């Protein structure tokens, strides 16, 4: 099984993709707006992905945060708010904000589960900092570590209650970046003491099943490599200081913060210590180049993935409509 997650080109698998994916046997897949039309179509697509390998517990990812980062959108799918309203409510009514974040995440999870999507790239645990690039902005759960951790825990609980696996991101913190790592290479010049603030939510939720590491240079830890390609950051900070032992994936290999060919980028994140590389474009020539060089999942990587995919829905009878109604009632308190 290749240590890579691949994107798809469209709403259905092409004949070329079916052949390639069967041969490559990637660890998982990720869906984007180009892959999403209707609930029934997404369910058929995810069912077909599982049938390619006979893996019921296949990681099929999506970025369904709410607000501006949502691959499933109206009118075919319900709209979900960004994270900022939950952070605002927390300032006046912490318990209500935590419950609102939990039931909102449960509603998202129930939607994804019905569509056959097994993993959501949520929660964002980046502590928002003044003057930073707005790429995080209202996606953040706040500017104070305890608030971010409390609301992040609620999001994880809500997703897991629906049987959908969570991903904490962007380890070890994107909140200070002055540029968007999709467009350029951010360098964070904060001291180690200052970065302690960014680490706190990740330390608190280090038991999370999956995590995504940022393409950012942190001068205090490794001035020569972005975190996703830094063995120092991954071993000393992510696995060591934070204590994260979940399934660790890179952010997207096609982001401008990275250098070299897509294949070189993929090898770089794996050699640095990521369990799996994330390739999102769905471009066949790029996927072929990655498949030619990417190794198989390590035994540790397979253990972490299998453990994450054991998360199952609880017996809470609250359905999606009830969860959305409760969320809206609580958010009105703000």
Q: In the chain, at which residue ranges do the beta strands (DSSP E only) sit? A: 2-7, 26-31, 60-62, 64-66, 69-70, 119-120, 165-171, 187-188, 210-213, 217-218, 247-252, 276-279
Instruction: Determine contact, residues 253/266, Cβ cutoff 8 Å.
Output: yes
Which residues does residue 198 pair with via DSSP β-bridges, in sequence order? Answer: none
| Length of the chain counted residue by residue | 334
Active site members: 182, 251
Q: How many CB atoms lie within 10 A of CB 75?
A: 6
Give the integer Cα–Cα distance in Å for 102 and 107.
9
Task: Report H helices in 115-213.
Answer: 145-161, 192-204
- CA 184 to chain centroid: 20
Please name the residue that has the structure tokens 């997404």: 42
Give 113's contacts (C-beta < 8 A, 6+ positions apart). 162, 163, 164, 313
DSSP collapsed to 3 states, 149-175: HHHHHHHHHHHHHCCCEEEEEEECCCC
For 27, the 3-state DSSP assignment is: strand
For 252, the 3-state DSSP assignment is: strand
Instruction: Determine contact, residues 131/178, Cβ cutoff 8 Å.
Output: yes
Nearest Cα residue to 271 out of 322, 234, 312: 234
Give the integer Cα–Cα distance in Å for 152 and 25.
32
């Amino acid at each position: 099984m290749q240590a890579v997650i691949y994107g798809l080109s469209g709403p259905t698998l092409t004949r070329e993709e079916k052949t390639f994916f069967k041969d490559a046997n990637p660890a998982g897949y990720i869906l984007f707006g180009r892959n999403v039309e209707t609930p029934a179509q997404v369910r058929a697509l995810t069912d077909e992905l599982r049938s390619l390998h006979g893996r019921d517990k296949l990681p099929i990812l999506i970025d369904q945060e709410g607000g501006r980062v949502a691959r499933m959108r109206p009118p075919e799918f319900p709209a979900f708010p960004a994270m900022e309203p939950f952070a605002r409510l927390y300032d006046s009514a912490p318990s209500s904000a935590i419950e609102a974040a939990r039931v909102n995440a449960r509603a998202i999870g129930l939607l994804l589960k019905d569509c056959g999507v097994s993993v959501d790239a949520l929660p964002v645990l980046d502590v928002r900092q003044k003057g930073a690039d707005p790429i995080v902005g209202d996606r953040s759960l706040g500017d104070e570590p305890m608030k971010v951790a409390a609301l992040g825990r609620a999001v994880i609980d809500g997703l897991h209650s629906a049987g959908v696996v969570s991903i904490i991101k962007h380890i070890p913190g994107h909140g200070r970046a002055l540029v968007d790592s999709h467009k350029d290479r951010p360098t964070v010049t904060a001291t180690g003491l200052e970065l302690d603030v960014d680490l706190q939510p990740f330390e608190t939720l280090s038991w999370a099943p999956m995590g995504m590491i940022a393409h950012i240079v942190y001068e205090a830890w490794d001035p020569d490599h972005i975190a996703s390609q830094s063995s120092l950051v991954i071993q000393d900070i992510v696995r060591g200081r934070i204590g994260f032992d979940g399934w660790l994936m890179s952010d997207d290999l096609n982001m401008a913060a990275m250098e070299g060919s897509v294949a070189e980028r993929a090898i770089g994140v794996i050699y640095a210590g990521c369990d799996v590389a994330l390739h999102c474009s769905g471009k066949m020539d790029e996927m072929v180049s990655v498949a030619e060089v990417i190794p198989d999942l390590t035994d540790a990587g397979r253990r972490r993935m299998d453990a994450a995919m054991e998360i199952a829905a609880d017996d809470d009878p609250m359905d999606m409509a009830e969860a959305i109604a409760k969320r809206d009632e609580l958010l009105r308190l703000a």
